[in-house]
Structure 1
Amino acid sequence: MAPSRSLMPSAAVPDLAARMRTFRSLGGNCEFGFVQRYCGVEPSGLLRFAYTPIDALVRGLGCAFEGFGVPGDLCIEETDTGAFYCRSERYNIWWNTMQLVGSVAPEVLLEREYGRAAHLRASFLAELAAGSHILVRTESQGETDADFARLSAALHAHGAAPLLRVKAVGAAWKPEPVRQVGPHRFEGSVRRFAIEEAWAVDFEPWVHLCDAAYAARHDLPASALAAAPVPSPITFRTRLRYHVGKSSAGGSTPGPPTQDSHTSFMKAVDPAAFEPARVYVFSAWVWIPVDCTATRIFAACGLRRLAWRDADLTVRERWQRVWAAGRFEPGEAPGAPVGLGMIGGRQGGFWSCRSVCHEGALPRPVEPPRIRPQPAPARWITRWFDREQTPRTASSASGDVAQP
């Protein structure tokens, strides 16, 4: 067993939110901070929402970030997106203040960031010394093996926390274990990085990667991280259904079709039926015929959507999974939406089946339906589907879209 790992009984494995609290970002950009947010956790961290050049990071680790956040080091900058960023002139580290231009006076914000910088620097160094977190660094363009070797050496001068290097491998991505490439050093991959819009995370590969890293860190089989089923506060019909959009922007009355009509196929639920602060996910399989004119097919799970996958409208005549994860907060008015939605006219609808809502940040892995919807009487299709189809749990999921 590698010295950086700690053996943990499978029965003691924490849930996904608790596991995600054991990770810390080493910058690159804000993406991993949003991954943690979508898992329902908000850990503080010096570099959680920061752009951090790797040379500056190595230099800062070498001197324990001496001079970071001292008077004169920080300044507030406006970005093209209308957000305020704070920058350390000594280390060229930029971080998102989560404040929009015009929402606060720059001098007030700067004073606040000075106070935060001192606290976060001290916490960061203490966490490095404890070695209790998995440190995540996404690979930026031009960063080499030698750069990560220098970063690893600089980190381990402080403690034994493992470093996880994350690469983007494109469409070839599939769930797999992380690779140990040296003492306290691991590598893994996601499909793509959210470079321009860090909040637009390709969420599922990130969750698979973090679970693989957590399992490697604690010598656990991947199967030990599967959440036990929890009874859902609401249920849906799982049988095959056909959905069509509104024929006009005002409702379902006859009229010329409009491409921007919004049709809801959702339940209005009482948020009080859900555990507060926990993450729930709604998912359904959808089949989009070639003649469907929808401009968007999507899912909702409450008013606070955290992560989601809309339907890929370029995928026709195949099953694909659509889902959304969100929270239900105490005090929200009844009527939170859970289910599917569509934007588009009445011409050409879509099919769905196996709608389900349960606790968790991602849908549980299941095989896609095997039935191929046909333009036949709904009663015949439903009878066939009920007789032939039984959801089956898959041991792994390499992608939601599958040939029927």
Structure 2
Amino acid sequence: MLLDFESIGYDCEFGLVQRYWGLEPLGLFRFTSAPINELIAALDTDFIEYGAEGDLSIFEGPEDHLFCRSTRYGFSYNTCCLASQTEPSAIVDREYKKVRYLKERFLEDLAAGQKIFVRNEVGDADETENLARALRRHGPATLLSIVAPTDRRRAGDVGWRADGIIEATIDTAVLFRRSGSVPLEDWLTVCGRAHALVHGQDAEPEPADDAEAPCEPFDREGRDRSDPSIHLLSSDEVVLASASARKLRSGEMYAFSAWIWLPADFAGTRVAIDFLPVRYGYFDADLSKRECWQRIWASCKPRVQDTEVQIRLIGRGPPNACFWSADWRLEASPYPTSRPAPIPLVELHPDEFGDRVERA
């Protein structure tokens, strides 16, 4: 179902949604920053100047990455090359070929009218209508416009706004800009409902592959993780617990999850799950939520050469900051299946947990 959608900006969030579901479709704007007015101008001119001679330039961006920018339209994307290892002149011809090929595919998809084009936070109503008009100039395209909730729009609401425009509300979209966490389940819900509007199908999102039943992972000491354990930080960022998972099938998505309880006085700055060697999707702890259970997770897709993967619970904060975790689970799925939260904790001093205290 997600392959019937294609991102047209504002950022790379929807491209990551597809990746975290184990999909890697080609797309002109999948990981490209595209300002709305320039995107409309490009659509109105058939992208004639995008990738034309002299349009593209390579520049160094954050964390040593080389980016490619369109001088005419201001589109930019990560080339996945490092400035410390690559001369810009060595990749510019490759980027011209890439842009021209993807541009041709994009225009063909627009003309076919089979895809739903996703724009995350378009802007005001006029911009949304102008973008839809520019898309439909090429064919019977449908625009899925992601907006924030209001008094009249609840999270998860999806409906026709006008001919060719579906409006969908995602409450947690701001998380991506704040922490990089992608609300995958929310995206699947609105995409499923939008797909149903266009194709008249069941509005439920695709179910996770449950060919393998969830299993309980264990930490390095072989302790069962179904009951709550408390974790004490000893330095700025530490691995509080880890587990190895072997015999996972290469090329398939796996999700590891745990319930986290942050006390009211928690002074840490991060609680997260990590997969080694490669983490795909993730949802870190929301530090604004205290005295309640919240679920964090991460996913991975083992490569052929990965004989095992390492799963780590990470905490960052001052020494002796503490939190609880419970119900660790590993599943054959791009994201965790629904589970009830553990029973709420009563306030206990760490000493009362005895051997369930985890010290890094």
TM class, shorter-length: 0.7 to 0.9
CA contact (8 A) 1:292 1:347 kept: no
Q: Secondary structure of 2:341's match?
A: coil
Residue-pair matches, total: 346
What's the TM-score once normalised by structure 1's chain length?
0.75
Q: Deviations over 1:238-263 (max 9, x none)?
A: 632323337xxxxxxxxxxx333624
2:134 corresponds in structure 1 to 154
Paired residue for 1:322?
296
**Alignment match, 1:186:** 166
Structure 2 vs 1, CA of residues 173 and 357 (structure 1 numbering), >3 Å: closer, same or farther? Answer: farther
Cα shift readout 1:315-363 (whole Å, capped 9, x = no counterpart): 33211112111222221243x2236344567746433332211122222
Deviates more, 1:35-44 or 1:190-199: 190-199
**Are 1:214 and 2:195 counterparts?**
yes
Partners of 1:341 and 1:80 in 2: how far apart? 24
CA radius of gyration, larger in: 1
TM superposition shift of 1:223 = 3.6
- Say if 1:245 and 1:99 are closer, same or farther in 2 by CA, change over 3 A: same
- Tell me the residue number matched to 1:298: 272
- Corresponding residue of 2:2: 20
Aligned mates of 1:136, 1:37 — CA distance in 2: 15
- The residue that corresponds to 2:86 in the other structure is 104
Distance 1:312 1:229, change over 3 A: same
Residues 209, 333 of structure 2: 8 Å contact kept: no
Contact 1:84 1:101 survives alignment (8 Å): yes
Structure 2: runs of 5 or more not aligned: 218-223
Instruction: Indicate the residue corresponding to 2:336 in structure 1.
Output: 363
**Distance across 2 between alignment mates of 1:214 and 1:243:** 43
Q: Does 1:264 align with 2:264?
A: no
> C-alpha distance in 2, partners of 1:283/1:209?
23
The structural deviation recorded for 1:302 is 4.4
User: Aligned equivalents of 1:21 and 1:216: distance in 2?
Assistant: 16
SS of equivalent to 2:110: helix
1 CA distance for matches of 2:178 and 2:269? 22
Partner of 2:284: 310
Aligned with 2:259 (options 285, 288, 295): 285
Tell me the equivalent position of 2:186. Answer: 205
Contact 1:34 1:198 in 2 (8 A): no
Deviation at 1:151, TM superposition (A): 1.6
Question: Is the CA contact 2:257–2:330 (under 8 Å) kept in the aligned structure 1?
Answer: yes
Provide the residue aligned with 2:220 in structure 1.
none
The residue type equivalent to 2:136 in the other structure is H
Determine the structure 1 residue equivalent to 2:210.
Answer: 229
Checking the alignment, whether the CA contact within 8 Å between 1:259 and 1:294 is kept in structure 2 is no
> Which SS does the other structure have where 1:61 is aligned?
helix
Which residue matches 1:239? 226
Q: 2:25 aligns with which of 43, 59, 64?
A: 43
Please tell me the root mean square deviation across aligned C-alpha atoms, in Å.
Answer: 3.2
* C-alpha contact (below 8 Å) 2:192/2:205 kept by paired residues: no
**2:80 is matched by which residue type in structure 1?**
M
Q: 1:176 to 1:197 in 2, by over 3 A?
A: closer
Tell me if the contact between 1:293 and 1:348 (Cα under 8 Å) persists in the aligned partners: yes
CA distance change for structure 1 residues 157 and 302 in 2, over 3 Å: closer, same or farther? same
- AA partner of residue 283 (structure 1): S
Counterpart in the other structure of 1:388 = none
TM-score (structure 2 length as normaliser): 0.83
- 1:146 offset after TM fit, Å? 1.8
For residues 31-58 of structure 1, the C-alpha deviation after alignment (integer angstroms, 9 at most, x for no partner) is: 3222322222221111122222222222
Q: Distance in 2 between matches of 1:91 and 1:112?
A: 19
Paired with 1:146 and 1:298, the residues of 2 have a C-alpha distance of: 40
| Contact 1:51-1:93 within 8 A present in 2 as well | yes
Structure 1 residue 24 displacement after superposition: 1.0
In the TM superposition, residue 312 of structure 1 has moved relative to its aligned partner by: 3.1
CA distance in 1, matches of 2:166, 2:183: 21
Task: Give 1:128 shift.
Answer: 0.9
Gaps of 5+ in 1: 1-18, 247-257, 382-404
1:163 aligns with 2:143: yes
Deviation of 1:180 after TM superposition, in Å, equals: 0.7
Which residue in 2 is equivalent to 1:75? 57
Secondary structure of residue in 2 paired with 1:95? strand
Note the alpha carbon deviations across 1:149-198, whole angstroms, 9 max, x for none: 12212211222231101123499986424111122210112223468679
Q: 1:323 to 1:316 in 2, by over 3 A?
A: same
Contact 2:193 2:204 in 1 (8 A): no
Q: Summarize the Cα distance change of 1:287–1:329 in structure 2 as closer, same or farther, 3 Å threshold.
A: same
Question: Residues 171, 108 of structure 1: CA spacing in aligned structure 2 closer, same or farther, 3 A cutoff?
Answer: farther
Query: Closer, same or farther in 2 for the Cα pair 1:314/1:64, shift >3 Å?
Result: closer
CA distance in 2, matches of 1:321, 1:280: 16
CA drift at 1:129: 1.3
What residue in structure 2 maps to residue 53 of structure 1? 35
C-alpha contact (below 8 Å) 1:175/1:209 kept by paired residues: no
**How far apart, CA to CA, are the structure 2 residues paired with 1:167 and 1:159?**
24
